[in-house]
Amino acid sequence: MVTSVDTVTKKTVAVGPVALECGETLQDVHIAVETVGKLSVDRDNVVLVCHALTGDAHAVGDERDPGWWDGLIGPGRYIDTNRYFVVTTNVLGGCNGSTGPSSINPATGRPYGSSFPPVTIRDMVHVQYRTLQKMGIDRVHTIVGGSMGGMQVLEWGILYPEAVENLIPIATTAALSPMAIAYNDIGRQAIMSDPDWQGGDYYPGPGPKKGLAIARMVGMVTYRTDTLFHQRFQRRLQTNVPEWSRDATFQVESYLRYQGEKLVNRFDANSYLCLLKAMDTHDVGRGRGGMAAALSKIRSRALIIGIEEDRLFQIEEQRTLYRELREQGKDAQLWELRSPYGHDAFLIEYEKMGPVIREFLEG
Amino acid sequence: MVTSVDTVTKKTVAVGPVALECGETLQDVHIAVETVGKLSVDRDNVVLVCHALTGDAHAVGDERDPGWWDGLIGPGRYIDTNRYFVVTTNVLGGCNGSTGPSSINPATGRPYGSSFPPVTIRDMVHVQYRTLQKMGIDRVHTIVGGSMGGMQVLEWGILYPEAVENLIPIATTAALSPMAIAYNDIGRQAIMSDPDWQGGDYYPGPGPKKGLAIARMVGMVTYRTDTLFHQRFQRRLQTNVPEWSRDATFQVESYLRYQGEKLVNRFDANSYLCLLKAMDTHDVGRGRGGMAAALSKIRSRALIIGIEEDRLFQIEEQRTLYRELREQGKDAQLWELRSPYGHDAFLIEYEKMGPVIREFLEG
């Protein structure tokens, strides 16, 4: 059974002015939202999906316009849109319909660019909460997301413990590790070193395409694994010349460069910088007396999913989260999957994750 | 006991024209050499040290001018310069005294720049062999090196099996993995995207400083581990401002950026590109009917050292090498060490590696 495109509703929700953690206020914030399924009369069947760094609100689609989580969500799928009302929002700071650095600053009539304020994961979650309120939704059945999406899931459980019943953080962490901060900074330096970045005020120019492509390449190597690259590329060349030739390109290089170029065509470099920064600030314990104190606020059930081969958010980070919740007597489960895809398994391994998520939702 | 600077002899050896694997010939090749200790009358005590990507011929020094492998090599140390005559050469393609892209092309009177030919690990080894011959050395007691140095060690065993008694390849591989090729390509793209690279013909200008710094940052994250960064930096800030501030810098970022800037001041970007390419072409089986056929040529004893936490040259790569040599009945040992330093342990963990190397040399 395939969901028809008619079942996906796209809209933009105006949430008004938003005071940010940094002390600045964004006027006239808009958030892009997509919904699939039907809100129940009791309004108790909402599944909120939080996307990762370069994701967007189009988690669920159809054959003509596939969503990035179609393998998990749809009619009759693991998260069944015949049963749940699935809501996905594009994050604050993004570039796919929500207010971000490329949006017009109402005060100046020009894009924010370098003047766009720093945004945190907590800011994103506050804005999501207000977006749902504007849509008439006060309670959420389940919040699910991987990577940066998983950070939002955790913050939801802490900031709005009474508003959410179930949390499913996937391939994520309670606080971004120094190694992940390091990788983020390489991407950041690549973008900011590109002369076309122009200090962030490059609109309506093309922006730092080369820098953003390199940043994406840095991301890709952390999202995948040695094993996968061995299986897929070995040392094969793309070109029919000897390896030592100036014109030689290995298939893995060709693949990575293609991934870089592909992102440049669909993503804004300033948004990328904004979201890297938001991830860097992710530490549930910040300003709350540490991780344990922060997690103590959670009232929801939690299914934590980790990937053993994840190089970016190491499995030990999910285990730490699980142990802490259990020690506090919370209703938490940990499920570890193995996958050569590494971190990106949360966007690929639906047959492995799906049944566990379905069982958790039914349990 | 400290070796005095008088015991280190520095020279440049002219090896004449060199025909490369790529078919081009480099005229008038010079190789920077440093030696420590005394060549025995029988000329049977030579230890050849091969350096890694950004290394040089100064493996052994003293308090005033430390060498990069002083912890391992020196009078009374694990490789004892009272006993061995230690020779270190700067590789072909390098920028610390040997012929490389920044050298003057005798045909034009200008630096090679973009016209410098592609060089392979095998080319480096051929040139090292000829350098030793010019020094009156026909046989080598031991060849030791880590990372790219280890690639040269393996090629020595294959190209000159009768000329070398013992091989000590550390933290290396029989063929560069697709993941390592991917990391190399990110560094390459960062350098080549920097407008100051100017297609490789930037001399006498400063060259692509930003691009090279980013390439170094990419290298650094693969040389170290999550564990080390956790221990050393946690999520501490360098600056006394909140994490979400525009001015916030994490200590790990500050460290990485410093490492990038430091390399720029001592290394030529074109040499960096040249050596990345040489590593990419490293596959002992290339043109020899595969790895097993290539390794069958080895006649030397071998001590393979691997680091379990090495993210760049995974421990399984050293195990594969060891198993293959053993299956062929070679005199090979594998020694695995554990270290939070990961790949870079070969430049740090002397107390762990040293005794094993000493015992192997004596055995």
Domain residue ranges in chain A: 5-176+283-362, 180-277
Scanning the structure block, which residue is given the tokens 């996968």?
A228
User: Per-residue pLDDT tens for A307-343?
Assistant: 999 999 999 999 999 999 999 999 999 999 999 999 9
- Three-state secondary-structure class, residue A307: strand
Check CB contact under 8 Å for A256 and B22: no
Nearest partner of A180 among A171, A170, A167, A193, judged by Cα: A171
Q: Give SS3 for B197.
A: helix
3-state SS assignment for residue B17: strand
Q: B315: which DSSP letter?
A: H
CA dist A264 and A214 (Å) reads: 10
| Contact between B317 and B328 (Cβ < 8 Å) | no
Residue range A47-74, pLDDT digits in tens: 999 999 999 999 999 889 999 999 999 9
What is the arithmetic mean of pLDDT over A246-264?
Answer: 97
Per DSSP, A6 falls in state G
Q: What is the DSSP letter of A331?
A: -
Tokens describing residue A2: 């395939």
Rounded Cα distance, B68 and A234, in Å: 33
Q: What backbone torsions phi and psi does residue A278 show, to the nearest 5 degrees?
A: -60, -40
CATH number belonging to domain A180-277: 1.10.1740.110
The pLDDT of residue A83: 97
Q: Which of B30, B126, B141, B343 is catalytic?
A: B343
| Token pair belonging to B300 | 């030397």
Over residues A241-247, the mean pLDDT reads 91
CA distance A123 to A92: 8
Question: Is A147 among the catalytic positions?
Answer: yes
b/e burial code for range B127-153 (CB count within 10 A of at least 16 → b): bbbbbbeebebeebbbbbbbbbbbbbb
B11 Cα distance to chain centroid: 19
CB-based contact A244 B181, cutoff 8 Å? no
Strands (E), chain A: 8-19, 25-36, 46-50, 73-74, 79-80, 85-89, 104-105, 110-111, 140-146, 164-170, 301-307, 332-337
CATH for B180-224+254-277 is 1.10.1740.110
Q: Which of B147, B271, B296, B300 is catalytic?
A: B147
Calculate mean pLDDT across residues A260-285. 98
Q: Is A232 annotated as a binding residue?
A: no
> What is the Cα–Cα distance from B320 to B323, expressed in whole angstroms?
5
pLDDT at position A1 over 70: no
What residue type is A103 in one-letter code?
S
Are residues B97 and B110 in contact, defined by beta-carbon separation less than 8 angstroms?
A: no
How many Å apart are CA A148 and CA B153, to the nearest integer?
43
Q: What per-residue confidence (pLDDT) applies to A363?
A: 84
- Does A229 contact B179 at a Cβ distance shorter than 8 Å? yes
Q: How far apart are CA A212 and CA A234, in angstroms?
A: 26
Only one residue has tokens 């001018």, namely B65
B126 flagged as catalytic: no
Q: Find which of A24, A26, A185 to mutate to test the B interface (most B CBs within 10 Å of its CB).
A: A185
What distance in Å separates residue B189's CA from the closest CA in chain A? 7
Token representation of residue A66: 């596939």
pLDDT above 50 for A287? yes
Given an 8 Å threshold on Cβ–Cβ distance, is B245 in contact with A177? no
Catalytic residue among A56, A70, A123, A310: A310
A335: distance to nearest CA of chain B, Å? 22
Give the chain B residue whose CA is nearest to the CA of A210: B193
Catalytic residue among A98, A102, A147, A296: A147
pLDDT in the model for residue A6 = 54
Q: Which of B229, B280, B281 sits opposite A178 (nearest CB)?
A: B229
Of A22, A221, A245, the CB nearest to B182: A221
Specify whether the backbone of A19 is left (phi greater than 0), alpha (psi in -120 to 50) or beta: beta
Domain A5-176+283-362 carries which CATH code? Answer: 3.40.50.1820
Work out the angle at residue A32's Cα, subtended by the Cα atoms of residues A27 and A35, and round it to the nearest 5 degrees: 140
Give the dihedral of Cα atoms B188, B190, B192, B195; nearest 10 deg: -170
Closest CA to A295 of A110, A93, A159, A125: A159
Cβ atoms of B60 and B34 within 8 Å: the answer is yes
CB B63 within 8 A of CB B70: no
Q: What is the four-CA torsion angle of A255, A259, A261, A263, rounded to 10 degrees?
A: 170
Please judge whether B256 and A186 are an interchain contact, meaning their C-beta atoms are less than 8 angstroms apart.
Answer: yes
Mean per-residue pLDDT, A123-145: 98
Tell me the C-alpha distance between A47 and A201, whole Å.
37
> What are the strands of the beta sheet with B301-307, ordered from one edge?
B8-19, B25-36, B85-89, B46-50, B140-146, B164-170, B301-307, B332-337
Q: Do B226 and A286 touch (CB under 8 A)?
A: no
Determine, for residues B218 and A218 on separate chains, whether the beta-carbon distance falls below 8 Å.
Answer: yes
- The answer, yes or no, to whether residue A3 has pLDDT greater than 70, is no
What is the Cα gyration radius of chain A? Answer: 20
Q: Spell out where chain B has E strands.
A: 8-19, 25-36, 46-50, 73-74, 79-80, 85-89, 104-105, 110-111, 140-146, 164-170, 301-307, 332-337
User: CB A320: neighbour CB atoms within 10 A?
Assistant: 15
**Dihedral sign of CA atoms B111, B114, B117, B122 in order:** positive
For residues A278 and A53, what is the distance between their CA atoms, to the nearest angstrom?
10
CA–CA min distance B282, chain A (Å): 9
**What is the β-pairing status of strands B104-105 and B110-111?**
antiparallel
Query: What's residue B4's pLDDT?
Result: 44
- CA count, 13 A, side-chain hemisphere, B170: 26
Q: What is the rounded CA–CA span in Å between residue A157 and residue A168? A: 10
Model confidence over A15-56: pLDDT tens digits? 999 999 999 999 999 999 999 999 999 999 999 999 999 999
pLDDT tens, residue order, chain B (363 aa): 344 445 899 999 999 999 999 999 999 999 999 999 999 999 999 999 999 999 999 999 988 999 999 999 999 999 999 999 999 999 999 999 999 999 999 999 999 999 999 999 999 999 999 999 999 999 999 999 999 999 999 999 999 999 999 999 999 999 999 999 999 999 999 999 999 999 999 999 989 999 999 999 999 999 999 999 999 999 999 988 999 998 899 999 999 999 999 999 999 999 999 999 999 999 999 999 999 999 999 999 999 999 999 999 999 999 999 999 999 999 999 999 999 999 999 999 999 999 999 999 998
Length of chain A: 363
- A245 labelled catalytic: no
Here the tokens at position B100 are 């490389």
Q: How far apart are CA B73 and CA B63, in angstroms?
A: 14
**A267, A54 contact by CB (below 8 A):** yes
Query: Can you tell me the mean pLDDT for A138-157?
Result: 98
User: Is A110 annotated as contributing to ligand binding?
Assistant: no
Rounded to whole angstroms, the Cα distance separating A111 from B132 reads 64
The alpha carbon of residue A230 is apart from the nearest alpha carbon of chain B, in Å, by 6
* pLDDT band (50, 70, 90) for residue A7: confident
Buried b (16+ CB within 10 A) or exposed e, A242-262: bbbbeebebbbbbbbbebbee
Amino acid identity at B298: I
Establish whether this prediction's ipTM goes over 0.90: yes
Residues of B whose CB is below 8 A from A200: none
Q: What is the pLDDT at residue B5? A: 43
Tokens of A152: 């939002």
CATH 3.40.50.1820 fits B5-177+282-362, yes or no: yes
- Check for a shared fold between A5-176+283-362 and A180-277: no
| pLDDT at residue B6, as a whole number | 54
Percent of chain A with pLDDT over 90: 96
Mean pLDDT confidence for A90-101: 98
